[in-house]
A and B are shown apart, each in its own frame.
Chain A
Amino acid sequence: MSTFTETLVHGKGGAFKPTSLTPMQGLTLKYVVFGLVYYGFAAIEGMLLRINAVSPQDLLYPDRYYAMLTAHPLVGIFGSSYLLVFGAFTFLVPFLMKKPLWSYKLANWTLWLIVVGVFTFWFDGFLTHYAPLYTLYWPLPADFDQFEPVAGAIFITGVALVMVGTLFFVLNVLKTITYTPAGWTRQPAGRLLGDALGLTTLGKFFTGRLRKDVEQEHLVSLPVAAIARGSVDVLFNAGIILFSGVLILVYMVAEIFGGSLETTKIDALLYKNWYWWGLDLVADGLVLIFVAGTWYLLAQLITGREVFMARWARFALGLELVVSWTVWSHHLLSDQSQPAALKMGSGEFVTAFELITQGLAFFITLATLWMARPLTMTNPLKFLLGGLLGFALAVPAGIMQADVGLNRILHNTQWVVGPHVHVAVLVGLTMTLYAAVYFLLPILTNGAELYSQRLANVHFWCHLIGGIGMGAFMGMAGLQGMLRRTIYYEDEFLPYMVLAALSGALLLVAFVVFLYNIVMTLGLQGAVGLFKRSSTPPSVLVPGMDVAIQPVPAPGAPAGA
């Protein structure tokens, strides 16, 4: 066997031994594998959409194009981001809390429900071209002149499976924080939950104790607090999407059985408010909070120090309780019947608070790194900086479009989806996730060494330049009037679209390089080995670290960082 084949099959130096994995390591790696597979789906779809924006293809006739446009963000967010984030947090919460995951079985259910659910709606969209977009503006999802009700029902069922898996994840996270493992002294569940959700810190703020220049002591570490806080938004988001899905399913089932329901029974604007309230908990609440939490965790792990001004970081997480739940109306600034008070209050000024909460997380992370100089430019550090830059670019772009005056000429243009959405998701979120993946890789694989640092560098630069470039050229087209959900047939914005497609190709190259590097690190045999059962109990997080035994000092003592 040649060296190449040997490495391809067994990984670099044969160092990765799937039989050595604990159940929690194996489970987390399965989340990562499926998350990356679905990232590949979204990346290939994205590339096809980019090509179609350069020159409309016969293969991508409108029905298929819009079906792909519907599947692309849903696969990207639910199939990739959710799995990567949920997988990492399912491992990290017990790791940081030093107690077993509340339910290993439930974590398995979460994984498979999401994997199956995503495939269900993706495959349904592929076959039937059900295409109401992720926005589902009423009554489009129930427009049976354009879509088959059975196709829609299968699609919505797929999304519902993802949401049920999501609810299981939230339950597992919050229970892990608050429950008392067998044989432990009783845990203060209420205090743990209050601390995790930032309520303790909010209380200190309003009693004037937060301003003192000493860090407060807490039951729950800052990253776990961020995970818990983001999980609340995930919970509400899943509830709203499930409710909306059931509503749409009622119309579909009625149609299938020949009893058409009046779509006018549901107020389209009220539905839009309701839906965006829930959806924005992912876009603005969940992403920003989970990302902030991951930044803090990475900064701590990279520097080995407490996060700078940690009490204010906690306060910002608590403040997001107000911000992320009242921010949705910036999506309705171009809806003329939306009350002006909501446009200005929620749409403009609450949204502007996200500049503060995210800017605060940005500053705290950079300051933590700065005070620990000199640092080695490792993969986690460089991807973390890329993620920070991504949000530094994307959040102000979002604040600009969340302005009544500017929204009149930006809404639904490529500006929204380029410099804001794609830069936030691809550069900000994904590079942060890559930082976590590079950091966790040796921990989850019991010391497997990365196949090639040079390829990791290629991955970094191609992803960073590709992501920012694509967002920038889409944004330039948007400022020239190019819409985000429209096919242009006359080469109206050709130069921008060619450059955006080239940038997109760079992103795809980055992903292929990364995937190749990971496969050569772990080996194909290693990847298959992930699905073998482990004999160790789930309370063993990594070999030699069984968290079933209560640590000393006893709970109630500060968790520190």
Chain B
Amino acid sequence: MRLLVIDSGTVLWGQTLMYSAYCLVIISLVWWFATRITRPAGESRITPKVFYTWVGFLAVLGVSLHLVTYNTIPWVKDDLNGSDDYAASYDITVGDHAWQLPEKTLQVPCNELVRFSVTSTDLTYGFGLFRDDNSMVAQMQVVPGHDNDLLWTFESDGVYSIRSTEYSGPEGDGMVVPDAVEVTGCDQSEAEGGAR
């Protein structure tokens, strides 16, 4: 069993930690600024060098976020480049606010790239895979008249529901198919790890 599976759950935890830390820092910084700004001070000069350093820092930060995620989040390369090298493909249709699956529960092999190919016959929907605890594994938009293919690799056994993640009018309320996807063949279950 691997010590760390980088799945959607792991990425979300990482994001939570990073953003929480950032929030604490920026709130503290503005608080500190607000308390200092009313106090008497000598001549305060900020040099252009500080300004240019700040701009450079922002540029590096903005670009490096995407470089880091490109090289660490497992699904990004498949997302951007696509792949025909998938082990199984599941053709799903959605229309009139109802899902049509090729079988009641889709059987998905573990540790294999699989494709969910979803077609809308009328409106724009969303295709989302969710765990039992309602956390999201992945999602994509389902646009009518276009190919909507999600490439994914599961790394844990588990049963997942499908839910529309896009608003499609009030009749789309509750577009959920419980236990729609079952993943088997992993050396760990969802409770121990996750899916990426």
Residue positions of A touching B, CB distance < 8 A: 62-63, 65-66, 129, 131-133, 135, 137-140, 143, 145-147, 213, 264, 267-269, 272, 308-309, 312, 332, 334-337, 340, 343-344, 348-349, 352-353, 355-356, 359-360, 363-364, 366-367, 369-377, 381-382, 385, 388-389, 392-393, 396-397, 399-400, 403-406, 408-409, 411-413, 419, 472, 475-476, 479-483, 485-487, 489, 492-493
Contact = CB atoms under 8 A, between A and B. Distances in A.
B8, B38, B165, B169: most-surrounded residue (chain A CB, <10 A): B169
B40 A138 contact: no
Given A374-B37, A374-B40, A377-B38, A335 B22 contact: no
Interface in B103-158: 122-124, 126, 128, 130-131, 133-141, 143-150
Interface string B58-75: 110111011001100101
B171 A403 contact: no
A268 B30 CA distance: 44
A337 B136 contact: no
A62 B16 CA distance: 31
Contact of B12 (A352, A374, A479, A482): A479
B51 A359 contact: no
Contact of B33 (A385, A409, A412, A419): A385
Contact of A343 (B16, B40, B80, B135): B80
21 contacts: A66-B167, A66-B173, A131-B170, A135-B167, A140-B123, A140-B167, A145-B171, A269-B146, A336-B141, A344-B66, A344-B80, A356-B55, A363-B54, A367-B51, A376-B38, A377-B37, A392-B26, A399-B65, A408-B79, A409-B12, A481-B133
Contacts of B33: 366, 370, 385
Contacts of A344: 66, 80
Contacts, number: 230
B83 interface: no
B12 A392 contact: no
Nearest to B51: A309
Contact of A66 (B37, B59, B61, B170): B170
A108 to B, nearest CB: 37
Interface of B: 8, 11-12, 15-16, 19, 22-23, 26-27, 30, 33-34, 36-41, 44-46, 48, 51, 54-55, 58-59, 61-63, 65-66, 69-70, 73, 75-76, 79-81, 122-124, 126, 128, 130-131, 133-141, 143-150, 163, 165-171, 173-174
B15 A140 contact: no
Contacts of A131: 169-170
B16 A479 contact: yes
B56 to A, nearest CB: 10
A268 B41 contact: no
B75 A349 contact: no
Given A359-B54, A408-B139, 19 more contacts: A62-B170, A131-B169, A131-B170, A146-B171, A269-B145, A334-B140, A335-B140, A335-B141, A336-B150, A337-B148, A349-B66, A359-B55, A370-B37, A370-B44, A374-B39, A404-B69, A405-B70, A409-B136, A480-B133
Contact of B80 (A129, A133, A340, A373): A340
Contacts of B76: 404-405
Contacts of B168: 140
A481 B41 contact: no
A131, A135, A400: most-surrounded residue (chain B CB, <10 A): A400
A146 B169 contact: yes
Dominant SS among interface residues on chain A: helix
A381 B54 CA distance: 23
Nearest to A309: B51
Contacts of A366: 33
Contact of A377 (B34, B73, B128): B34
A269, A343, A372: most-surrounded residue (chain B CB, <10 A): A269
Nearest to A331: B141
A409 B37 contact: no
A370 B34 CA distance: 10
A321 B43 CA distance: 36
A268 B125 CA distance: 12
B147 A337 contact: yes
Contact of A268 (B51, B54, B144): B144
Contacts of B128: 483
B80 A371 contact: no
Contact of B46 (A332, A352, A371): A371
Contacts of A267: 145
Given A138-B124, A403-B69, A352 B37 contact: no
A339 B64 CA distance: 22
A352 B48 contact: no
A264, A409, A475, A487: most-surrounded residue (chain B CB, <10 A): A409
B46 A370 contact: yes
Contacts of A139: 122-123, 144
B175 to A, nearest CB: 9
Given A355-B61, A377-B38, A405-B75, A335 B143 contact: yes
Contacts of B174: 487, 489
A489 B176 CA distance: 12
Nearest to B150: A336
